[in-house]
Amino acid sequence: MERRSRAILQRADDGGAWLMVKLDHMPNLDHIETVAGSKEQFYVDWELADTRRVRKKQRRLFFALLNDIVDHFVVPQDFLKDMFYLQYQYYTGKEISLADHTRSSVTDANVLIELVVDFMFEWHVPFAKGYELLPKEEQYFIYQCCRHRVCLVCGLPADIHHVDTVGMGSDRNKVDHTQHRVLPLCRTHHQNYHQLGPERFAELYHVPVNGIKLDEETLKKINVRGNYES
Ligand SMILES: [Zn+2]
Ligand SMILES: [Zn+2]
């Protein structure tokens, strides 16, 4: 952030690419030599800067979620805002603000919102106002719903629907989930899913048609065994 530079890409002969970074000043060559052993060639760690400023939609979602927490715990909104800003700072080492002329980016705001969503799942705060604003297409949110067994569509207690079909007669508890895509759905929405079919269901509720793919280790961690298909 403090050392943001403009860069351009150029194809390299070996199929890779050159990343050319324009610096405002000549860097300290002695320092480079000390650190890298050479002034001509050295290594840099780079990170793509997100130049998109916080979106209105993100601000709305953040405050809608805060209000859900306000209603649940009866605490002032300002207190919560400061708490999450601080938590963000602790977590990333950067400051954040969603105020009108903020320098924070879309990525920054997403990290902040993830912290709030985490908090709400952890403390069983019902998603009321914020629920319909939540980006249900987002992997992170679906993952949290799976972990906490909450319906992706409505927030009620859910089972895990396995998108991939499993061969008839196989031992369901011994199914290898490595390749499996799952969707956390409550009883009603699970029935809906099977009545409407995946495509119409996904379109109606704005959820990804294929759910999310979780690796074996994650599935174990969140305690998904076998196939609950009915
Ligand atoms: Zn539901
Ligand atoms: Zn199902």
Distance from the CA of 225 to the center of ligand 2, in angstroms? 14
Distance from the CA of 136 to the center of ligand 2, in angstroms? 18
The closest ligand to the CA of 164 turns out to be 2
The closest ligand to the CA of 160 turns out to be 2
The closest ligand to the CA of 155 turns out to be 1
Distance from the CA of 186 to the center of ligand 1, in angstroms? 4
Distance from the CA of 46 to the center of ligand 1, in angstroms? 42
Name which residue leads in pLDDT, 20 or 3.
20
Residue 75 has pLDDT above 60, yes or no: yes
The closest ligand to the CA of 191 turns out to be 2
Distance from the CA of 128 to the center of ligand 1, in angstroms? 13
For range 199-219, the mean pLDDT = 86
The closest ligand to the CA of 150 turns out to be 1
Distance from the CA of 119 to the center of ligand 2, in angstroms? 28
Q: What is the pLDDT of residue 86?
A: 97
Pairwise CA distance, residues 25 & 27, whole Å:
6
Q: What is the DSSP string of the chain?
A: -TT--EEEEEE-TTS-EEEEEE-SS---HHHHHHHHS-SSS-----------B--HHHHHHHHHHHHHHHHHH---HHHHHHHHHHHHHHHHSS----STT---BHHHHHHHHHHHHHHHHHTT---SSSGGGS-TT-HHHHHHHHHHTB-TTT-SB-EEEESS---TTS-GGG--GGG-EEEEE-HHHHHHHHHH-HHHHHHHHT--TT-EE--HHHHHHTT--S----
Burial tier of 31 (Cβ tally within 10 Å: 0-12, 13-18, 19+): exposed
For range 59-83, the mean pLDDT = 95
Distance from the CA of 188 to the center of ligand 2, in angstroms? 11
Using a CB cutoff of 5 Å, list residues around ligand 1, an ion.
Answer: 151, 153-154, 156, 186, 189
Name which residue leads in pLDDT, 86 or 222.
86
The most confident of the ranges 121-125, 148-152, 184-188, 217-221 is 184-188
Identify the CA nearest to 181 among candidates 135, 133, 229, 134. 229
The closest ligand to the CA of 183 turns out to be 2
Q: What is the mean pLDDT of the chain?
A: 86
